[in-house]
Amino acid sequence: MQFTLNELDAAAALVGTQIPPTPQYAWPQLAARLGCDVWVKHENHGPTGAFKARGGVTFIDWLRRTAPDSPGIITATRGNHGQSQARAATAAGLRAVIYVPLGNSREKNAAMRAFGADLREFGADFDSAKDEAMRMAPLEGLTPVPPFHPELVRGVASYALEFFRASPPLEAVYVPIGCGSGICGTIAARDALGLTTKVIGVVSTHAPTAKLSFDSGTLTPTASAQTFADGMAVRVPVPDAYAIYARGAARIIAVSDDEVAQAIRVLFADTHSAAEGAGAAALAGLMQERAQMQGKRVGVIVSGGNIDTPWLAEVLAGGTPRV
């Protein structure tokens, strides 16, 4: 899956009709703390509070063009992808059936319903909910939205185009990985622009499937994915995403829940910005590798800010939510 710059620019223009560019700032307190020039791309400032909103725009536009008789979509999520799809589908007059695992974020669930989702709870984790959504798609006559699709990647790549064009040249950029659209969109934008920026993926130590797959050279699922950074809580790697980050990422590193919680606190203190667990994971990765990034210009993707209030309160008080 490769995209030309024209293809990515066309997707960005479409996304831009609904979603204004998000800001990117060089934060001096982060620079002083970490010893490098830190540029933060604030995807937590978008209309759903997460980067996924971009892929919803491009996927639903593609669906309306290629399957005009489809009555709607069905998909699974931990929250941000579901908000994106519900927002875009409902705006286009389509149904949006969204599956989430039992015990999913209450506030993300409420947001999805507010965007028009028919929300259904199933299974113990994302992968179980995903399997059920895909099973139900033909039974309900709805178009399944997989966790990874060319139109999702083309849409979310628009944040990377914005970032690379608006910031000075970046020597490295840290990107969280769940199913992989974010890191693959970043790699696609980098390659289309002809840049040499190293793209470094970040996963949770409790959900390391992408790192295990990258390091071993073969798809490697895990038995569980229990982390409060729910945007990264994936057990089974996506083959199409793996094919891209296996060749396009410099490396993939793993951060603990305690490191993620500390990164949330640092972001709040140094940028006065709230991040969810996956949204702070990129900064946690940079903090882990601060020694080798001294004096460099580094990008960090804050992919989302949709953290439940009780968890944010616990983190800001110095704790780490346990799941």
Q: Do 270 and 170 have their domain in common?
A: yes
DSSP 317: T
Q: Is 112 within 8 Å of 86 (Cβ atoms)? A: yes
Q: Is 284 within 8 Å of 83 (Cβ atoms)? A: no
Give the three-state DSSP class for 274. coil
pLDDT digits (tens, 9 = 90+) for 110-156: 999 999 999 999 999 999 999 999 999 999 999 999 999 999 999 99
**How many structural domains comprise the chain?**
2
Q: Do 83 and 155 have their domain in common?
A: no
Indicate the pTM of the whole model.
0.96
Q: Do 43 and 62 have their domain in common?
A: no
Domain final position from 112, 144, 176: 144
Give per-residue burial for 96-114: e unless 16+ CB within 10 Å, then b: bbbbbbeebbebbbebbee
* 14 closest CA partner among 42, 53, 44: 53
**What is d(CA 16, CA 259) in angstroms, rounded to the nearest whole number?**
34
Whether residue 323 lies inside any domain: the answer is no
pLDDT digits (tens, 9 = 90+) for 186-224: 999 999 999 999 999 999 999 999 999 999 999 999 999
Q: Which domain holds residue 203?
A: 5-51+150-316
pLDDT digits (tens, 9 = 90+) for 45-81: 999 999 999 999 999 999 999 999 999 999 999 999 9
Q: Do 291 and 177 have their domain in common?
A: yes
